[in-house]
Amino acid sequence: MTLHISEAEVREVLTMPLAVEAVEEISRKQATGEVVVHPRRRFELPGGGFFHYMAAADYAQGFVAMKQYTYVRGKLRFLVPLYEMTTGELLALIEADYMGQLRTGAASGVATKFLARKDARVAAIIGTGGQARTQLEAVAAVRKLETIRAYGRDAAKREKFSSEMSERLGIPVRPCFSAGEAVRGADIVSTATTASQPVVSGADLAPGAHINAIGANHAHKRELDDEAVASADVIVVDSIEQSRQEAGDLIIAFHGDEICWTGVKKLSEVVAGKVTGRTSDTEVTLFKSNGIASWDLAVAMKVFALAKEKKLGRELPLWADAPKG
């Protein structure tokens, strides 16, 4: 039987520490070849909507997952089917909006753990939506933050966001009147916006800062200006193949110069110790996140195991009448 796991049930079992642990673990396996990832592909639908799909296989654990989602009329609908390799059984259909927010935040948490200065205490977040919340939650899980600065275009939203996140994290979150005000002097800068044009200027970045840029995943969109990318001594991505297709922050800033791509590193290899990340406290490090299916697989495996343990979800009688053998 296939287990249907709802958004509410995902929220009940999946925490940020679990998600960070899962993403870090699968990143190590990705570096050894035990995990294989297929990049995101998309169809454009009539009326300007999109259908997206991406997949990953964990040969060590014996699971395969695909994430598929639509974006139509401003609404996103996410689903992760989880399969068992040895039997081909569809183990679960997991509603994956919150799960996606957590895994994206967790990946930035892993990047921050391995790339940010150990003494990083001040964080800035640009964006005040759901993804911004999990970005802050993940960064706070791996560094002892003392203060956070937040900026979003809507003044009422950023006030509300700052108040709610202060209470949620137990760390003062101060709303700022501009992105520059939030970024200047920050040790960790995270961007989680829907912007098409830069929201962070390299001129505002402090020496030794670490950046998590997660919002733009189309070749023509970016959150960082050319100077911000050029100032990065270390550039790390989740997938070079996927980044070449949709990491507008890098595609635009590199201006078609192939040599720029030769220095870009993969997060999985940094985590596994195959390549170096930060080597000094003055370096600026950049993690450009596009979102890859191995992260969805990692958290889906956790969610499925916990749902089974807690007897959550409902069984769907798929293929119940199929002939045996």
> What DSSP designation does 322 have?
S
In this structure, is residue 321 part of a structural domain? no
Q: Are residues 7 and 95 in the same domain?
A: yes
Q: Are residues 280 and 298 in the same domain?
A: no
Other C-beta atoms closer than 10 Å to the C-beta of 28 total: 16
User: What local confidence, expressed as pLDDT, does residue 216 receive?
Assistant: 75
* CA quadruple 181, 184, 185, 187: dihedral sign: positive
Q: Residue 41: pLDDT band by 50, 70, 90 thresholds?
A: very high
Query: Active-site residue 311, yes or no?
Result: no
Find the catalytic residue in 67, 265, 288, 302: 67
Q: Are residues 127 and 273 in the same domain?
A: yes
Q: Are residues 297 and 190 in the same domain?
A: no
* CA quadruple 233, 238, 241, 242: dihedral sign: negative
In this structure, is residue 278 part of a structural domain? yes
Q: Are residues 272 and 302 in the same domain?
A: no
Q: Are residues 139 and 157 in the same domain?
A: yes
What confidence tens digit (pLDDT) does each residue in 202-259 have?
999 999 999 999 987 788 999 999 999 999 999 999 999 999 999 999 999 999 999 9
In this structure, is residue 113 part of a structural domain? no
Q: Are residues 168 and 299 in the same domain?
A: no
Q: Are residues 245 and 133 in the same domain?
A: yes
Q: Which domain range does residue 309 map to?
A: 2-100+293-316
- pLDDT higher than threshold 80 for residue 321: no
Q: Are residues 82 and 123 in the same domain?
A: no
In this structure, is residue 20 part of a structural domain? yes
User: What local confidence, expressed as pLDDT, does residue 325 receive?
Assistant: 61
Beta pairing class for 188-191 and 285-288: unpaired
Q: Are residues 284 and 298 in the same domain?
A: no
278: domain CATH number is 3.40.50.720
Q: What would the DSSP string read from start to end of 215-240? A: S--STT--SB-HHHHHT-SEEEES-H
Rounded CA-CA distance 164/301 in Å is 30
Q: At what angle do helices 293-309 and 16-32 cross, to 10 degrees?
A: 130
Count of the separate structural domains present in the chain = 2
* CA quadruple 94, 96, 101, 105: dihedral sign: positive
**293 HSE (CA, 13 A, CB side):** 26
- pLDDT higher than threshold 80 for residue 294: yes
Which candidate, 142, 140, 23, 141, places its Cα nearest to that of 150? 140
Q: Are residues 123 and 238 in the same domain?
A: yes
In this structure, is residue 323 part of a structural domain? no
3-state DSSP call for residue 22? helix
Portion of the chain with pLDDT greater than 70, in percent: 99
Q: Are residues 24 and 74 in the same domain?
A: yes
Which candidate, 288, 264, 263, places its Cα nearest to that of 200? 288
Residue 38 near residue 126, CB atoms below 8 Å: no
In this structure, is residue 195 part of a structural domain? yes
In this structure, is residue 106 part of a structural domain? no
3-state DSSP call for residue 116? coil
In this structure, is residue 110 part of a structural domain? no
57: domain CATH number is 3.30.1780.10
Q: Which pTM value belongs to this model?
A: 0.94
